[in-house]
Amino acid sequence: MKYFLSLLFLLSFQVSILAQNEKPKLVVGIVVDQMRFDYLTRFNDKYGEGGFKRMMNEGFNCKNNHYNYVPTYTGPGHASIYTGTTPKYHGIISNNWYDKEIKAMVYCAQDDSVLAVGSDSKLERMSPHRMQTTTFTDENRLFTQSKGKTIGISIKDRGAILPAGHAANAAYWFRGKEEGHFISSTYYMKSLPNWVNNFNASKINKSYLKEWNTLYDISTYTESGSDLNNFEGGFKGKETATFPYDIKKLAKQNSGYDILKATPYGNSIVADFAIEAIKAEQLGKDNFTDILTVSFSSTDYIGHNFGVNSKEIEDTYIRLDLELKRIFEALDTEVGVGEYTVFLTSDHGAVDVPAYLQSLKIPAGYLNNAASKERFNKFLTNTYGTTDIVENMSNNQIFLNKEKLKDLDLNINNVQEAIVNEQIKYPHVLKAYTGITMSSVNFTDGIEALLQKGFNQKRSGDVILLNDPAYISYGKTGSTHGSGLNYDTHVPLLFFGKGIKKGQTFKKTEITDIAPTMSALLGISFPNFAIGQPLDFVLE
């Protein structure tokens, strides 16, 4: 009997070791901010073999991957990727939103109970506390009894914090201005680790204050529009938005080190820091799976500034391809070929500059918010005798003043309906819905279903508005995002590495499928409010 029990224990132990060995030693989640799916195909001929193409050739390409909610912004996008659910449940309804309880705007990563670490700035008090559900990174920490590390890295604080989850070891983001280094907050630590201090002290970031010219001859950049046009913003201190850019010279007029965020060198800094984190934190070196989340934010800053069709965007993605290659080579060396798993996606896409679309006779344009507000205020005054029943208008939402409604003995249902009937008459308002409708009617398809998955009953407004396609509230140059249309929802989804099949599909996948897929790969619990499904055709 003793021999039998000993043999049983040995077999159980060997199975356990085998199961551990079947898991990747490190999972790397990469988010490329504002990356439309067609950047994979449009710039394909300019990419080398070691970055995007390595993922596509050796891994699995989900070509019909979409966001399944509105609004498509950075904060909600990063939260949804890692929680496997939508703003309806995880609560990150925008980057900034109106808080009905405290009657003020709040930021998705803002936390006044913590302090910055590595900076004296009062603006860097950040944590994930507003995100109400777990991430798959949290579930991995729970599963491994906190032995599996989680590190989040980005230029943007929200791009580092939300993916890393609540139980992360650390999240690091880039503080620009006059500082130009990576920082964190007391939510994670009392002081920066030595390796971070050493990285910041190395002045590597200062080395990127240099000329930004196209990597290859600009005449070969045939996948984008002309360099000189009327659809791009540019930098203060330079008359035209044309190559080359003297970043060192322009830095002073463009908030110091913040200028790097709006150049490809911001992505280079993130890659440098991520590679150093892999080495210094010994990620993927033991039997407990670690997770590294990396968000490249400079693509978003550049897209907002120069637009979807710019030479600047093309050059940025050509250079990002090389940064990905550098990261993958570091993973090959530090963790081992075939011992890690990577996924790559985006937090949203972007619309072509409406002025550019107009030049091609494609329906597009800009919202006249001042005229709409004036008209709406007149309606409120004529109907209710005051504009005070509206407390806030932001993020295409209208928030009512419940106390004022009570004072005037107004029924909230009737007021919401009256505002919907008024707003739908305004130019370029495509759809309008009451909060009560969003809370009570079950939409299963169409834009209404996307709006509902982005509607959080406790945090969202009383009336939800949707604009006409390609009509935006933005300046006349550069691109933006936020809608439920394909230019904002259709983003890449690539898987590559251990446990991943080789292949591709046009089957529709949704952003909320990523976290359950990674959870299934790791054999851990799904995030606690995940609504997505594991993509079994991706996994070996």
Closest to 481 in 3D by CA, of 322, 307, 329, 250? 307
Q: Is the CB of residue 502 less than 8 Å from the CB of residue 509? A: no
Q: Is 387 a catalytic residue?
A: no
Nearest CA to 490 out of 472, 512, 510, 504 is that of 510
Gyration radius from the chain CA atoms:
24
Whole-angstrom distance, CA of residue 324 vs CA of residue 268: 10
Beta carbons of 23 and 521 less than 8 angstroms apart: yes
* First-residue to last-residue Cα distance in the chain: 38
Q: Which of 41, 72, 74, 480 is catalytic?
A: 74
d(CA 225, CA 218): 11
Among candidate residues 487, 494, 484, the one with its CA nearest the CA of residue 86: 484
DSSP conformation class of 500: B
Closest by CA position to 184, among listed 269, 115, 270, 235 = 115
Under 8 Å between Cβ of 488 and 498: no
Distance CA 438, CA 463 (A): 9
CA 154 to CA 128: how far, in whole Å?
14
Q: What angle do CA 136, 140, 144 make, to 5 degrees?
A: 170
Cα–chain center distance at 242? 28
As a whole number of angstroms, the distance between CA 189 and CA 170 comes to 7
Strands 429-434 and 211-212, bridge-based pairing: unpaired
Helix, strand or coil for residue 284? coil
Q: Which residues are identified as catalytic?
A: 74
